Structure 1
Amino acid sequence: MPDTAALTSTDDALHALLRRLDELGYDFVTPTPLTHQRVVRRPGMRLARSVRDVLGWSLPFEPSALPRDLFEALQAGGVLEPAGDLWKSTVRVSRVHGLLFLHSAFPTEDENSVFLGPDSYRFADFVAAEMGHDCRLQRVVDVGGGAGAGALTVAARCWVREVLLTDVNPQALRFARINARQAGLPLATRLTSGLEDAPADCDLVLANPPYIVDPAGRAYRDGGDLQGGQISLDWARQAIDKLAGGGRFLLYTGSAIVRGGRDRLKGELYAMAEAAGCALAYRELDPDVFGEELDTPAYADVERIAVVGCTITKPR
């Protein structure tokens, strides 16, 4: 396992921000981008009046809208940018399963954005349900783990000797380390694509890959071919090779259900698991998400996009 990178002074400031928010009982649930747009278009939402307006709804603000120590922590953390005569935070803070998570401010349009949203909550719920209580694990890897919602959900519920989070985005790894420090949970990080450099003999591999066809090619959103399902298949194949006997791969992803109700991703995953001698459990968690994508050419033959949870278990 790699050593966890040392936190810098700016990281320390962002950790202090999270610690203070926890003391204040801060809470925010990040909605979909479309919901966010609708809410901030309302009258009275042009200027922040509270901490949640600044760090949840990403509204421009005057320094007086925040307690002085929070404003200073944002300054020291290097996450403030001018917005005319006002300021704007480049980060948001949300709570998932009781833990605070630092992630990118709205809108998440930059290639290096660290996204956390409704999928993160559903992913954490799926992982928590699969883990149960009082579980003991030696080695856990969260592939493409972003801000750490999956890895830290496991670490908070189970005794775990090693937790590794991988991602192609250095900013995601940075935020994940800060989030883990605030949660008081173990987390190592590695900058890598997929599971190429991950250790073998894992008890548990987690994945919440991108699953939408994104013309902009943003890493946190674009799932590749198979109408967004290719990365899910690639990571499943890699995960099977990395699992110890009896180990599990928990995949939370989306599947484009094509005309006639056919779930091509499900068929591909079942064939892959059967070839590897693995058991597979597969279920729909939400039958219809990202309906606006059906207006795009990439989804011309798609009836709906379903969110699915897949558990692949390697034989002992």
Structure 2
Amino acid sequence: MILQFEHKRPPTVTRPSPLASVAAALVHLGKELQQINYRFHTPTPATIELVNSRPGNARARSLVDVFGWNREFNPALIPVAILSAMRDAGMLAESGNGLRSTLRVSSLGEQLYFHSAHPAGQADAGTAPDTVCFGPDTYRFARQLRFCVPALAGRVTRCIDLGCAAGTGAIELAHMCPAASVHAVDTNPVALALTRVNALLANATGVLPEYSHMLANVDGTFDLIVANPACMVDDAALTCRHGGAAVSGAIVNAAIGRLAPGGTLLLYTTPGIVDGVDQFGEEVARRLDRAGFAWSYDEIDPDIRSDELGKPAGAGLDRIAAVWLMATKPTSHHVNW
């Protein structure tokens, strides 16, 4: 089984490795970066594009430029151990007069996360459906989890991160709910592979990456369901962003049916506001009220992704908000739809 991290045929610079070897090389690389205290807080794709376009920023001058800003680099810039690990993982791609990393590395707290080299929306981004996104929404999601989960952790024995992407939600859950089994599901095989790597790097041994569309391929009920889907219809139809409010609505429906009595859904999403109305929020409120859930719905940032408003998918929107839904199933088994 061969794991490819690029959507195009890889250049001849490095030879693809078997899955286990790739994972081992990536974990080794991550540990090397941890030892030198590598940090990179990933901004929006628009910011990445703008900063990389400034004079003098085309070529990397540091490891942050290589793995964070994803700039072309001279291999002489890279320490031998790090370059060797990149080669073993098949991460070296020819680019202009140098090389470029086929994965990026971002930091969140003390953890490092491997994810796709070209974030959705960047000028030179591909349109691969297997893009694994990481950015400001990831940080907001993790911050909300850290605020809410500790109060729930004592009664959580089985939880799940729906649409795990790079595995951030699952890894956060594993650290906060150490006695629980933590399922991390996605339909993107690259996301599952990187979740496995990132969990190993974070010593999150309870994380179980699994292929599933929503909850279709996993059995049973859950004490806690978390999710960070995009609530926009993406022009490029990238898996990590595409689907609109229908995806977030489907997650709510899945949670209503598959949460254990007293279980909780924690959902971060980004609905479009039209004529001052959050139609997604209003519909979710009706569904949860019918099901007898106790819930709260908070707008935690009123205006994000303003660059999206000029694209076809953002036409007609007043703004895009970041919202946080916390919904708890009644302890009675009876649910009204």
TM bucket normalised to smaller: over 0.9
3-state DSSP of counterpart to 1:164: strand
How many Å apart are 1:151 and its aligned residue? Answer: 1.1
Match of 1:53 in 2: 65
Name the CA distance, whole Å, in 2 between partners of 1:134 and 1:258: 34
- Judge conservation of contact 2:145–2:172 (CA < 8 Å) in 1: yes
- Structure 1 gaps, min length 5: 1-5
Aligned to 2:297: 282
Per-residue CA deviations over 1:100-159 (Å, capped at 9, x if unaligned) read 111011344322111100000000001111113693320010000100111111212222
- Could you tell me which residue of structure 2 aligns to residue 203 of structure 1? 223
| Aligned alpha-carbon RMSD (Å) | 1.6
Query: What is residue 134 of structure 2 aligned with on the other side?
Result: 116
Q: Which residue of 1 aligns with 2:5?
A: none
* TM-score in terms of structure 2 length: 0.87
* Aligned twin of 2:253: 237
Find the aligned partners of 1:190 and 1:159 in 2 and give their Cα distance: 19
TM superposition shift of 1:43: 1.9
Task: Select which of 62, 86, 90 maps to 1:78.
Answer: 90
Residues 1:140 and 2:159 aligned together: yes
Percentage of pairs with the same residue: 38
How does 1:33-182 map onto structure 2 within 5 Å? 33-108=45-120, 109=126, 110-132=128-150, 135-136=153-154, 137-182=156-201
Deviations 1:161-216 (A, max 9, x none): 20110011100000000000011112111112112122322110011012211122
Whether contact under 8 Å (1:114, 1:171) holds in the other structure is yes
Paired residues of 1:141 and 1:198 also in contact (CA < 8 A): no
Per the alignment, residue 233 of structure 2 pairs with 213
SS in 2 for 1:270: helix
CA, structure 1 residues 80+133, in 2 after alignment: closer, same or farther (shift >3 Å)? Answer: farther
Q: Secondary structure at the match of 1:45?
A: coil
- If each structure's strand is expressed as a fraction of its own residues, which one has the higher value? 1
**Alignment: residue pair count:** 306
Equivalent pair of 1:91/1:104 in contact (CA under 8 Å): yes
Q: By how many angstroms is 1:298 displaced?
A: 4.2
Residue matched to 1:3: none
Unaligned runs of 5+ residues in structure 2 are 1-17, 121-125, 332-337
CA pair 174-298 structure 1, distance change in 2 beyond 3 A: closer
User: Which residue does the alignment assign to 2:311?
Assistant: 296
Mapped partners of 2:19, 2:213: distance in 1: 23
Partner residue, 2:202:
183
> Which whole-Å CA distance do the structure 1 matches of 2:39 and 2:311 have between them?
35
The structural deviation recorded for 1:299 is 3.7
Structure 1 length-normalised TM: 0.93
8 Å Cα contact 2:296-2:326 kept in structure 1: yes
Provide closer, same or farther for how the CA distance between residues 133 and 7 of structure 1 changes in structure 2, counting only shifts above 3 A.
farther
Given residue 221 of structure 1, which amino acid in structure 2 is its aligned partner? R
**Secondary structure of 2:27 counterpart:** helix
Deviations 1:259-300 (A, max 9, x none): 1x1111111111111111111110001100112222234444
